[in-house]
Each structure stands twice: as structure tokens, then as C-alpha cells.
Amino acid sequence: MIYNFPLASRLLLGTAGYSSPDLLEKAITASNTEIITVSLRREGKKGGEEFRNLLKQANKKVLPNTAGCYSVKEAVTTAHMAREVFGTNWIKLEVIGHADTLQPNPFSLVEAARILNQEGFEVFPYTTEDLVIAEKLVQVGCKVLMPWAAPIGSGQRIRNVEGLRAMRSYFSDIPLIVDAGIGAPSQAAKVMEMGFDAVLLNTAVSKAKDPIQMAQAFKLAIEAGHIAYKAGLMPKRDMAHASTPAYGLAKLI
């Protein structure tokens, strides 16, 4: 459950970077996602009306984002515009602090989240695995956290496994959606096996040789990872442990 929205699919899909609207539409269908993320900047470009029609036809929950914003004022203004355009209080909050890594600015992120929560938004903050920042975001009203696995669009997989494990353990009652850096279905499955609630993808699907098949692959990997987590993974051992007991074996005479 995310902001009172029940999740049947744990894959959130971005809509940027596809070579054609038709390919995007087919990838959305193949992923079986219920939530798609949309940049107001992307939606407002030439061809925006065609894109809006595609979103209506997809009949998915829209999560607008503040991609490309570098200040509190810019992010808050973009969020208000997105609420008017898409008719939703949901907002994926991005306040970038570093142009090369696209790492969020922790100070501006917390301040923008505070303002938007006070103004009735349901905020999905894009953050790092830093526990202090995460705690501040929760304190200002965020009920969901979106830590990165690695920089946006890098496909570097999970760069700080222990950091994400600690975040999952510390914020056990808060939905955590891994956002950014996942490049392969196996990496998404690992995230879900760690107990995260969902994965948000864009580049790994949109830039694949076959985005439709890749969307389906991620769908299956995320489902498998979540089922494995719920089933309970076997504990790791320092030594081998025979599955067949030593006693009761036949003896040679």
C-alpha cells in the first residue's frame, strides 16, 4: 500500500527515452505496471497533446516528477504545475545537487518535501541510502522513500548493498521503492529479495535493444524477487552443509 494505493504490480515504469509512442505503449503493457512516471518538462514539449492521449489510453496511475529541478523554488513550482496538469497530489520529488552524478541535494530536498507535504502533496522523494536524510524526510511528512541503487541512468546496479539493507531494516514500516541505477532484471530481483517494496525503472527498459521484452523480463524478475523474499531465503553458512544426512547410509561389508 502506497499512500492508500494498493500495489498489485511492484514495478513502476518511467516514460522517457522511448524511440516512439507506440513502443512506449507496448512496453507499458508488457510490464504490467500500474504506475507510470511522467516529467512535466517531457509532457510540455512539442507533441505533448499526443503524449497526453497516450497516457489516457494507458489508463495507469500517473506519478509526475520534478526531474531537472536544481532548487527548492523550481521543484515546488513544478510540483504545483504538475498537480494542475495531471489532477493528482502525487509527486516524485527530485532536487538535483550535482550535475554529473544527478545526486539529490539533501538540504534542498528536505526543505522542498516539507513545503509540499504542508501543501497537501503526497511526496515520493528521490534520495540516497543516507539514513539521516531519510529520517529528516520522514519527519517532514514523507510516507514513502525512494533511495537510489546508483546514479540515474547509469545501470551500475546496487553500489552500496549494506547501506540499502540498513535502510530497509531501519525503516521497516515505510514503503521503500528503489529508484535509479538498476540495469538488469537480476539486479531488480536482488533488490526485491532484500525486502524492498517496489522498483522504479526507465532507462534500463527504454534503451534496451527490445524494450518490450525487457519490460516483461523486469516484470517477472520483480515478481520472483518479491515471492522469494516472502517465502524466506535460506540463511548463508560459513561451511558446507549436506542436504543428505550422514546417518542411515548403507554400509559396505
Tens of pLDDT, residue by residue over 128-146, are 999 999 999 999 999 999 9
pLDDT at 197 over 90: yes
Confidence of residue 45 (pLDDT cuts 50, 70, 90): low
Active-site residue, from 92, 136, 190, 219: 92
Asked if 108 and 133 count as a contact pair (C-beta separation under 8 A), the reply is: no
pLDDT of residue 46: 54
pLDDT of residue 66: 94
* Domains along the sequence of the chain with CATH: 11-231 (3.20.20.70)
Binding site for 1-deoxy-D-xylulose 5-phosphate, residues? 153, 180-181, 202-203
pLDDT of residue 230: 95
Instruction: Tell me which residue of 135, 227, 200, 201 sits closest to 174, measured CA to CA.
Output: 135
Confidence of residue 241 (pLDDT cuts 50, 70, 90): confident
Binding site, residues? 153, 180-181, 202-203
Q: Looking at this protein, which amino acid is placed at residue 180?
A: A
pLDDT at 15 over 60: yes
pLDDT at 204 over 70: yes
How many angstroms separate the CA atoms of 176 and 166, rounded? 12
How many angstroms separate the CA atoms of 193 and 224, rounded? 8
- What does the pLDDT average to over 212-231? 96
Confidence of residue 48 (pLDDT cuts 50, 70, 90): low
Instruction: Tell me which residue of 120, 151, 116 sits closest to 137, measured CA to CA.
Output: 116
92 is catalytic: yes
Asked if 25 and 58 count as a contact pair (C-beta separation under 8 A), the reply is: yes
pLDDT of residue 40: 76
How many angstroms separate the CA atoms of 93 and 167, rounded? 19
Instruction: Tell me which residue of 108, 159, 157, 94 sits closest to 129, measured CA to CA.
Output: 159
